[in-house]
Amino acid sequence: MKLLYGTGNDAKLKSMRAMLKGLNLDIVGLKDINAYVESVDEKGSSPLENAKIKATAYYKALRVPVFSCDSGLYIEGLPDNRQPATYVRRVNGKTLNDEEMIEYYTKIASEFGGEVKAQYKNAIYLILNDKDAYAYDDNSICESFIITSKVHPNRRKGFPLDSISLDIKTGKYYMDIQLNNNIDENKISDGFRSFFIKNISEISNKYYKFNNKGE
């Protein structure tokens, strides 16, 4: 079963393929089907709203089964007016690059003595056709972790915070977890897999093919 992941981020596409490996799903990106979609203006006030906005834009442009995801970052103890929420990369109207993100969030960790607890709240929105859509933002795809001011020497393009994020249970950097391909250590991956496993039978029954688009 082929599903388009509505994202322009190659790193996120690769990560999603790894998380859903072994399921009866062929996760493809825009390049795989020789398609292009203009940048989507994400104006939602929550991760689910943004996921829906993105998936809807991709579906209207390409008319193929598509899902999009979005996340919001919430830092314990930070005032509401400073919470990143859905604007993880945007600070005071500026879009940060990977290194600028690391610098910005390590400074926040330093404000709390070098470590601060945070949580990603994630959402999925899947559109199969004009009638059938699925939304999901359950706690199973949310995860608490630690942001540290001590920066890991390695980088993962598109996921800069992996270099300053620590797993609460193990104390490992997310960077090390990813480098060792220990994807099962990530609670979020289990949540994403559960969403598709739970709905895969119904999705299969309602699914329609790409009609060889991009092949």
CA 13 – CA 7 distance, rounded (Å): 7
CA 206 – CA 38 distance, rounded (Å): 28
* Residue 183 confidence (pLDDT): 45
Residue 213 in any domain: the answer is no
Residue 75 in any domain: the answer is yes
CATH of the domain at 39: 3.90.950.10
Residue 116 in any domain: the answer is yes
pLDDT 10s digits, 159-202: 999 999 999 999 999 999 865 555 444 667 888 998 998 877 77
Contact assessment for residue 112 and residue 164, using Cβ atoms and an 8 Å cutoff: no
pLDDT 10s digits, 96-141: 999 999 999 999 999 999 999 999 999 999 999 999 999 999 888 8
Residue 167 in any domain: the answer is yes
Contact assessment for residue 162 and residue 153, using Cβ atoms and an 8 Å cutoff: no
Residue 215 in any domain: the answer is no
**What is the span of the domain harbouring residue 76?**
2-206
Total domain count, the chain: 1
Residue 214 in any domain: the answer is no
In this model, does residue 211 exceed pLDDT 50?
A: no
pLDDT 10s digits, 68-104: 999 999 999 999 999 999 999 999 999 999 999 999 9
The pTM assigned to this predicted structure is: 0.78
Which residues, in sequence order, are CB contacts of 143 under 8 Å at separation 6+? 119, 120, 122, 186, 187, 188
